[in-house]
A and B are shown apart, each in its own frame.
Chain A
Amino acid sequence: KQEVTQIPAALSVPEGENLVLNCSFTDSAIYNLQWFRQDPGKGLTSLLLIQSSQREQTSGRLNASLDKSSGRSTLYIAASQPGDSATYLCALISSGSARQLTFGSGTQLTVLP
């Protein structure tokens, strides 16, 4: 059974700092991996998607990488801003599945002004 772990559970940084969020998974046979953002009391917003054949994806100040051999993905946020404060969720679809996502428990990020 695929298991997804996100460490740390919470992170607090000063504004302007570059930061990395980590996601690890136990089964390297994945279809794709998504990073989501969730604001308190809100739904999930898709940030980046990395297909199994890709190594990284970039969108603005965000960069996500994927290393299937080590079972790891990272989300890099450059020049963090208070508006980046949210919970970040890593989720993946395993190969051969019905395209359902397996989620990590998330990292709660606070960017201090």
Chain B
Amino acid sequence: NAGVTQTPKFRVLKTGQSMTLLCAQDMNHEYMYWYRQDPGMGLRLIHYSVGEGTTAKGEVPDGYNVSRLKKQNFLLGLESAAPSQTSVYFCASTSGRSNQPQHFGDGTRLSIL
């Protein structure tokens, strides 16, 4: 019953460093999403994918890149980390059917110094 797994769970970076967050789902879902959660701002969509090999920009895409080379994985990259990217990042997936919920991972807590 793994569901949606995010790695790492915690990370501290220095300004300008790069890193990749990994999201893996074992439910054969077509749709995958990356959100960020900030105090007072709620959850906002960064990028999403509607299937293997596809990606699209969400509400706050600047400073991030994504890739979906395999259906089960969705990677979020920070090429040059900035303090404004300090946040909690959540990955989610869904089949897309109206009666099926989105499933969320436990989040990655990222601090940029």
| Residues of chain A having any CB pair with chain B under 8 Å | 31-32, 34, 36, 42-46, 49, 51-52, 89, 91, 98-101, 103-106
Contacts and interface: CB of A to CB of B under 8 A. Distances in A.
Nearest to B106: A43
A31 B104 contact: no
Given A98-B48, A98-B50, A46 B102 contact: yes
Nearest 4 interchain pairs by C-beta: A43-B106, A46-B101, A44-B104, A103-B43
Given A49-B99, A98-B31, A103 B42 contact: yes
Contacts, number: 57
B53 to A, nearest CB: 15
A72 to B, nearest CB: 18
Interface residues of B, number: 27
Contacts of A46: 101-104
Nearest to B41: A105
A44 B31 contact: no
B69 interface: no
B104 A34 contact: no
Contacts of B99: 32, 49, 51
B98 A51 contact: yes
A98 to B, nearest CB: 5
B94 A43 contact: no
